[in-house]
Chains A and B, each alone.
Chain A
Amino acid sequence: QVQLQESGPGLVKPSETLSLTCTVSGGSISSRSYFWTWIRQPAGKGLEWIGRIYTGETTNYNPSLESRVTISADTSKNQFSLKLISVTAADTAIYYCARAISASAFDFWGRGTLVTVSS
């Protein structure tokens, strides 16, 4: 059974960098069969696709966030990470990591981690 677990600070100051890591067990992030994805959800609102990484190297980002986002992978630790620079209160959300079996089919999710941007 594949499991994903997000980790990282729950509080980030405005203008600073949000950094999260997703640790995957039960499956390899180097697999050519899946995309490893970050998705976020502001409280009481809908889901926003942030970006994905494939085979530990190829990335795609949401154009609305592309100038601020980097997704990377550490295949030796079977982890992938999210960095979002210059955060504002609008970046406050629950951040999920998920495995995609196709472009928009996310079959395994982490529990999510709440990140609050506040001074």
Chain B
Amino acid sequence: QSVLTQPPSASGAPGQRVTISCSGSSINIGHNYVCWYQQLPGTAPKLLIHTNDQRPSGVPDRFSGSKSGTSASLAISGLRYEDEAEYFCAAWDDSLKGVFGGGTKLTVL
């Protein structure tokens, strides 16, 4: 049972825009920054977004993050087959631990 809630799956056709949601509470997302990770099969997660909406160097601007209240979203525009992966949200929790979402498996149709 993950502290942050994500839909288990999402899908879209190449070129489309897809949004993945992440729901938390006042002691995690509501009070702290949100990050997003992309995990390809058999590899370690890769940081996509930090501080709610900031992209590390090298992450395409097709990926964007936003936060409102106790929820956050990751948007992927111009969907590509290479975007097919699992996506996780993360935040700090005021109970003094890091917390993650359960992951959303993105399928590119």
Q: Which A residues form the contact surface with B (CB < 8 A)?
A: 37, 39, 45-49, 52, 60-63, 96, 98, 101-107, 109-112
Number of A-B residue pairs having CB atoms within 8 Å of each other in the complex: 72
The residue in A45, A46, A49, A109 that gathers the most chain B C-beta atoms within 10 A of its C-beta is A46
Residue pair A104, B35 in contact (C-beta under 8 Å)? yes
Which residue of A104, A107, A112 contacts B98 across the interface (Cβ within 8 Å)?
A104
Main secondary structure, interface of A, reads strand
CB-nearest residue of chain A to B56? A107
How far, in angstroms, from A52 to B96 measured CA to CA in the complex? 11
A47 near B88 (CB under 8 angstroms)? yes
Chain B contacts for A60, CB-based, 8 A: 96-97
| Chain B 23-55 interface residues, beta-carbon cutoff 8 Å to A | 32-35, 37, 43-47, 50-51
Contact between B51 and A106, CB atoms less than 8 A apart: no
> Smallest Cβ distance from A98 to chain B, in angstroms?
8
Of B9-17, B77-85, B100-108, which stretch is located at the interface? B100-108
User: Nearest Cβ distance between residue B80 and chain A, in whole angstroms?
Assistant: 23
Given contacts A46-B102, A46-B103, A49-B98, contact A106 B47 (CB under 8 A): yes
